[in-house]
Amino acid sequence: MSPEEKRECILRGVPASPGIAIGRVHLMVQREPQIMARKLAPSEVPLELGRFDQAVAETRNSIERSRERALDVAGFLVGKIFDAHLMILDDVTFHDQVRSRVTKEQFNADYIVCDVLGRMIEMMTRSAGELFRERAADIRDVRDRLLRHLHGEGDVIPAHPTHEVILLAVDLSPTEALHLDRELVHGIATDQGGLTSHTAILARSLDIPTIVGVGDITNRAKDGDSIVLNGNSGKIVLNPTSASLEEYRAKQERFRGFKLALENLKDQRATTLDGREIELWGNIELPREAESVLSHGGSGVGLFRSEFLYLTRETTPTEDEQFEIYDRTAEILAPFPLIIRTFDLGGDKFHAGIVSRDEKNPFLGYRAIRVSLSRRDLFRAQLRAMLRASSRGNVKIMFPFVTGVEEIVEARAVLDEAKSELARRRIPHDPNIKVGIMVEIPSAAVIADRLAGICDFFSIGTNDLVQYTTATDRGNEQVAAYYRSFHPAVLRLIEMTSKAGDGAGIPVGVCGEMGGNPAATPLLIGLGIRELSMTSSMIPEIKKIIRSMTFEECRKITRKAMKMNTSSDVLAYLREELKKRFADLPIWFSGA
Ligand code: PEP
Ligand code: MG
């Protein structure tokens, strides 16, 4: 190797998972599958179709195993990636195409599978949107798995390192990323992928420092090269000089110290320097995530998205099944609170027989409390299950998607019926269970003062509040630039809600993404918010911020932010304030 090639070289990508990794390059070789077309005799066709069916069945089992592993090691969001893979595998059009082409063209199934999915991958890769490119990566992952089963190779995941390395790849499929050995892979860098790519999500869950979208790192680096990867900034130093190595070793040490300090905060309260107490809670979708909230130093669950009980199965969960889940989760958390949100089906969450996909405007349609109020049977069963769990645990009920007084009055009436039923049957429950609402629709925020009198608490759902205030579909990438979390109108609605809660003496929290966004922390506290509920992994950082600032400081920052005209001005200002105080904080800013 010439000295020229070994010269230090700086590359940049998108920081996708925090931390600093120093080590040797391992290039992960990923080849496009080489499939030969083989002409079949007409008599071989039925056999070939059977071979396809069997490979699909084996692939389904294999994806389900990955899904289980993902749920175990990385949680529900990552598990969902593999749900999407199952949908791709079981797509009826895909099956029809393969079957009819094998029958008509009389070629082997591997060749047809590769061709059908290859065309889809190509079309999506060419598309401008990141979502489509991610989908292409998922289809590629399913294709490769299916081909492995068609070739009788089973679950082999190729080309993983066997010694300690920094892994470089063009892109990593979710399956490849999921099966990485955390002990051996100290860092990841990929040519492709964005912050929301599945590799990035997985890497964050596995806590591996990662940079994506580097461009052509796999061409520039060689196996065994020395490399430094800064997952906090997105900077990569290839063949670092000894001075650079020293600099990064010191940074790595500082970062480790910082992480350790965060861990040590676990049992500390989230109290500002001048004594204002803030509750830090976790958002969960599965009961088992409650443990992670506690291990991250959270003091309860501010949002249990109970609709996931529906989304993870095809049948409707019974009252007893729900009771068991709520009771178990409350038991894990006790004495801390568990706020269970009643089903929020609809919008982008569908369930056969209850909410179908064929609405014109699902986000403005049959969703959440509207479904509950029209399906009293399901609603009452859920409320009974929650009430029963409240006899032993600190359970609270929260209604989503409330537009005004009417829904609260109606829902409370159903709750009273459920209480009477239980009382009649002498089933223990807490008759004074606390009942709150999500403030996530602008109409509710605007009349929060009227709603405060009939609620025990408010929880602001900023994800939907931003969507409905800015008229921007939260899942539509084409208009993502309009989804402005720090839009002055959104901030005013939060302020109104907070003041209304304060006036009525009821607690107000935030459980949307903003609750776990470090940039928003001083602002929300300055606006009077007392409870923040978030992905549990964010709890330590948010706690650190709170414990390092005074309430007065937060109020000062808030006063200034509230005078700004645009979301980007507010965000830039908040970032700057945070940077001044926490230079080492690997802050994951979201929304503009
Ligand atoms: C919200 O809307 O902010 C929220 C927390 O609920 P979801 O994201 O489940 O709609
Ligand atoms: Mg919502």
Q: Give the model confidence (pLDDT) of 82-128 as tens digits.
A: 888 999 999 999 999 999 999 999 999 999 999 999 998 888 877 65
Considering every ligand atom shown, identify the ligand nearest to the alpha carbon of residue 490 and give its number.
Answer: 1
Residue 464 Cα: closest atom of ligand 1: 2
CA dihedral sign, ordered 580, 586, 590, 592:
positive
Cα angle vertex 506, ends 500, 511, to 5°?
Answer: 85
Query: What span, in angstroms and rounded, lies between the C-alpha atoms of 200 and 48?
Result: 38
Q: In the prediction, which pLDDT does 172 show?
A: 84
Q: Which residues surround ligand 1 with Cβ inside 6 Å?
A: 303, 305, 344, 440, 461-464, 511-512
Considering every ligand atom shown, identify the ligand nearest to the alpha carbon of residue 283 and give its number.
Answer: 1
Q: In the prediction, which pLDDT does 69 show?
A: 82
Q: Please compute the mean of the pLDDT values over residues 147-163 and round it to a whole number.
A: 74
DSSP H or E stretch at residue 346: none
- Which residue CA neighbors atom 9 of ligand 1 most closely? 305
- Confidence bin at 1 (pLDDT 50/70/90): very low
- Confidence bin at 407 (pLDDT 50/70/90): very high
pLDDT digits (tens, 9 = 90+) for 205-236: 788 999 988 988 999 999 999 999 998 888 99
How many angstroms is it from 461 CA to the middle of ligand 2? 5
- Which residue CA neighbors atom 5 of ligand 1 most closely? 512
Residue 513 Cα: closest atom of ligand 1: 3
Report the percentage of the chain scoring pLDDT > 90.
65
How many angstroms is it from 189 CA to the middle of ligand 2? 34
* Helix/strand/coil percent split, the chain, to 5: 50, 15, 35
Residue 467 Cα: closest atom of ligand 1: 2
Q: Which of 260, 344, 330, 274 lies closest to 301, judged by CA?
A: 330
pLDDT digits (tens, 9 = 90+) for 2-47: 444 578 999 999 888 888 999 999 998 767 777 888 999 999 999 9
pLDDT digits (tens, 9 = 90+) for 173-197: 878 887 787 789 999 999 987 766 7
Q: In the prediction, which pLDDT does 171 show?
A: 84
Asked if pLDDT for residue 280 goes beyond 90, the answer is: yes
114, 455, 511, 554: the catalytic one is 511
Q: In the prediction, which pLDDT does 425 show?
A: 97
Is the pLDDT higher at 408 or at 132? 408
Q: Which residues contact 516 (CB under 8 A, 6 or more apart)?
A: 283, 532, 533, 534, 535, 538, 539, 542
Q: What is the mean pLDDT of the chain?
A: 90
| Gyration radius of the chain over CA positions | 26
Q: Which residues contact 541 (CB under 8 A, 6 or more apart)?
A: 262, 518, 585, 587
Query: What span, in angstroms and rounded, lies between the C-alpha atoms of 420 and 408?
Result: 18
Cα angle vertex 242, ends 240, 246, to 5°?
Answer: 95
How many angstroms is it from 508 CA to the middle of ligand 1? 15
The answer to whether residue 554 is catalytic is no
Asked if pLDDT for residue 56 goes beyond 80, the answer is: yes
- Confidence bin at 585 (pLDDT 50/70/90): low
Highest averaged pLDDT of the listed ranges 11-15, 196-200, 262-266, 390-394: 390-394
Asked if pLDDT for residue 592 goes beyond 70, the answer is: no
Q: Which of 186, 180, 191 lies closest to 228, judged by CA?
A: 186
How many angstroms is it from 98 CA to the middle of ligand 2? 39
How many angstroms is it from 532 CA to the middle of ligand 1? 13
pTM of the model: 0.74
Residue 14, both tokens: 């998108």
Is the separation of the CB atoms in 265 and 540 below 8 Å? Answer: yes
- Which residue CA neighbors atom 6 of ligand 1 most closely? 461
198, 296, 351, 487: the catalytic one is 198
Residue 511 Cα: closest atom of ligand 1: 5
Query: What span, in angstroms and rounded, lies between the C-alpha atoms of 468 and 490?
Result: 10
Q: What is the DSSP string of 445-473?
A: HHTHHHHGGG-SEEEE-HHHHHHHHTT--
Highest averaged pLDDT of the listed ranges 153-162, 343-352, 562-571: 562-571
Is the pLDDT higher at 314 or at 226? 226
**Mutation test of ligand 1: which of 76, 340, 459, 463 has the most ligand atoms closer than 8 Å to its C-beta?**
463
- Which residue CA neighbors atom 7 of ligand 1 most closely? 463
The answer to whether residue 455 is catalytic is no
DSSP H or E stretch at residue 320: helix 319-333
Highest averaged pLDDT of the listed ranges 85-99, 255-269, 376-390: 376-390
How many angstroms is it from 514 CA to the middle of ligand 1? 10
> How many Cβ atoms are within 10 Å of 185's Cβ, its own excluded?
24
Q: Please compute the mean of the pLDDT values over residues 59-68 and round it to a whole number.
A: 91
Q: Which residues contact 447 (CB under 8 A, 6 or more apart)?
A: 404, 405
- Confidence bin at 160 (pLDDT 50/70/90): low
Residue 462 Cα: closest atom of ligand 1: 3
- Which residue CA neighbors atom 8 of ligand 1 most closely? 463
- The span from the first CA to the last CA of the chain, in angstroms, equals 46
Residue 165, both tokens: 């390395």
- Angstrom CA distances, 529 to 222, 443, 459, 523, 589, stand at 51, 19, 10, 9, 20
Q: In the prediction, which pLDDT does 84 show?
A: 86
- Confidence bin at 591 (pLDDT 50/70/90): very low
pLDDT digits (tens, 9 = 90+) for 518-554: 999 999 999 999 999 998 888 998 999 999 999 999 9
How many angstroms is it from 44 CA to the middle of ligand 2? 53
- Which residues make beta-bridge pairs with 230? 20, 235
- Angstrom CA distances, 339 to 77, 282, 325, stand at 20, 10, 13
Residue 283 Cα: closest atom of ligand 1: 5
Ion ligand 2, residues whose Cβ is below 5 A away: 440, 461, 464
Q: Which of 59, 78, 58 lies closest to 68, judged by CA?
A: 78
